[in-house]
Amino acid sequence: MRRILPYIYLFCLDLIVISGAAQSAKSPFAAFMQAHEDSMKKYSFDIVNAREAGDRFRADSIFTRMLVRALKEPYSFSYPFDSLRTISRLYAPDSSFRIFTWQVVKDENTFRRHGAIQINTKDGSLKLYPLLDKTTLLENTNHITTTNGDWIGAIYYRIVETSFNGRKYYTLFGYDENNFRSTKKRIEVLRFDEQGRPVFGGPFFSFEKDETPKPVQTRFSIEYKKDGNASIRYDDEMKMIIYDHLISENNQPDKKYTFVPDGDYEGFKWENGKWVHVDKVFTFKLQDGQAPVEKPVKESKLDIRKEPGQ
């Protein structure tokens, strides 16, 4: 036993040396990116929490420049920026890209979303597509296809990867504050064209199995009463999108800001390259406070209540 212990000690010492060498090899990059991130924290916080609109927009401008500067560092794709809690940062399930999204509030009726898609490149160089929010200029948003240059702005909280005929599709789940009366959530399919450019939307949301079929939609959205707690989520076990069925709480169906969940659920199932509508996900009606999954996903807002660094 006494003879074995020195060898165990030497073996452990070798592991410590190797581990330390590995960490020291990574530390310059990590420390450099951490410095970038630390300098961005205050501005990312002020984008949402500064009292004056001018200060929020000024913070947004500074933060955007700092983010682009940080992303220009080789292999920045691997750095998570996970302390920027007012900024949504989502990696695609296959790690082929990631999306940054955030919003700036001008007043109770004006919300502007900003964002960017970073592509995971083999040589670590930066390939970035800025997302330019043109929501207020677009009509019939559930029936048009857009690019990063005429983006329908949202804060993304989930990406689901699907495929069909050897091609990958990425369904984005987004949150939109809309205005002081109502909130929106939407789902849309992101794909990349032959030149690798992002395309949002397409003929992916089908209602062909409904009793009264409707035309196919390029994206799907719900609008409901402010803080009405309606949800659109993906159930990993059922492998389908589930969302709240909404009704007007005072029988005014033309006023979306009166819509609230009624306890029923609809959904979409991926079939043959499109999301096919399911009119009734469950055959029973849930009681108040119940949910269709054991652990409901909280996707409504980012954590913006805490100071940076906490």
Task: Say which range, 41-55, 104-118, 170-184, 296-310, has the weakest mean pLDDT.
Answer: 296-310
Q: How is the chain split into domains, by residue range?
A: 1-73
Query: Taking residues 142-150, what's their average pLDDT?
Result: 97
82-136 pLDDT per residue, tens: 999 999 999 999 999 999 999 999 988 889 999 999 999 999 999 999 999 999 9
Nearest to 126 by CA among 78, 57, 176, 183: 78
Phi and psi angles of residue 58, each rounded to the nearest 5 degrees, phi first: -65, -45
Is this prediction's pTM over 0.85?
A: no
What 3-state DSSP class applies to 277?
Answer: strand
Strands 198-200 and 219-225: unpaired
DSSP reduced 3-state for 156: strand
Give CA–CA dist 120/78, Å, rounded.
Answer: 9
User: Which residue is it, tokens 């581990």?
Assistant: 19
Across 22-31, 58-67, 265-274, 288-297, least confident range = 288-297
Q: Which two tokens stand for residue 140?
A: 């019939």
Q: Quick one: 275 exposed, middle or buried, by C-beta within 10 A (0-12, 13-18, 19+)?
A: buried
Which residue blocks in the chain are alpha helix, DSSP H? 4-49, 53-71
Q: How many CB atoms lie within 10 A of CB 97?
A: 22
